[in-house]
Amino acid sequence: MNVKLISFTPQPERISAIAAKLTHTSATPEEVEKSSDKELKAILEEIMHRGHTSVIEHASFTFAISGVSRSLTHQLVRHRIASYAQQSQRYVSIDKPSYITPPTIAKDKKAKEKYDEIMNKIWEYYNELLEFGIPTEDARYVLPNATYSNIIVTMNARSLLNFFDLRCCLQAQWEIRKLAYKMLALVKKEAPIIFKNAGPACKRLGICPEDRKDCPLYPG
């Protein structure tokens, strides 16, 4: 899995704080924009503490993600307040086996051998269908959820907080949880105040939406 932050709103925290200050002043946007960094930082810290996160929607982040499975991207696109551009299996022929192996399978020798055997057989059938003249968009029907995929994702900061609430949770599926933590590490560097407490909901909100009392992170 490779995750790269390829673009984001310049000065994401400053623009969020400007938006927050504007809602509580008679000053014009041009006047608010001249506010000091110190003042804006204090405003942002306060609104994040209070959970008034609508203003951080003005900050967005774009990630380039590769080497993940279609199983992961099927979960990812359920986060609706976001923009996606995914490698198409209609137009891209995936003629060589390229797939993710779950850790539970990778650590079991017999299971891994059987898994690889199945995957190689799937690609044999896929390539045979292409040789028969079947369109790529139809031949892809035999490809598994494990198939490698690449995707570009853009989310605003508020949507990212929700994404991290759900996908950094220990109850989340392992692959998308791994992705969430990689994305979180990248945005924390650019917006440390906004994402200071980001992570599973139990960390940011102090509650467990799953009510899993057996979880080691369950709020005590």
Question: Sign of the CA dihedral 122, 123, 129, 135?
Answer: positive
- What pLDDT score was predicted for residue 206? 82
Domain boundaries, the chain: 2-84+148-204, 95-142
CA dist., res. 197 & res. 203, Å (int): 7
Residue 72: which of 55, 87, 57 has the closest Cα?
87
Top-tier CATH class for 2-84+148-204: alpha beta
Can you give the pLDDT at residue 220? Answer: 63
For position 2, what pLDDT does the model report? 97
Say whether 14 is catalytic.
no
**What pLDDT score was predicted for residue 101?**
97
Q: Enumerate residue ranges in the chain where pLDDT < 70.
A: 220
User: Which is the catalytic residue, given 167, 177, 204, 212?
Assistant: 167
Q: How far apart are CA 108 and CA 169, in angstroms?
A: 26
For residues 21 and 11, give the distance between their C-alpha atoms in angstroms, rounded to a whole number: 16
Q: What is the pLDDT of residue 139?
A: 95
pTM: 0.91
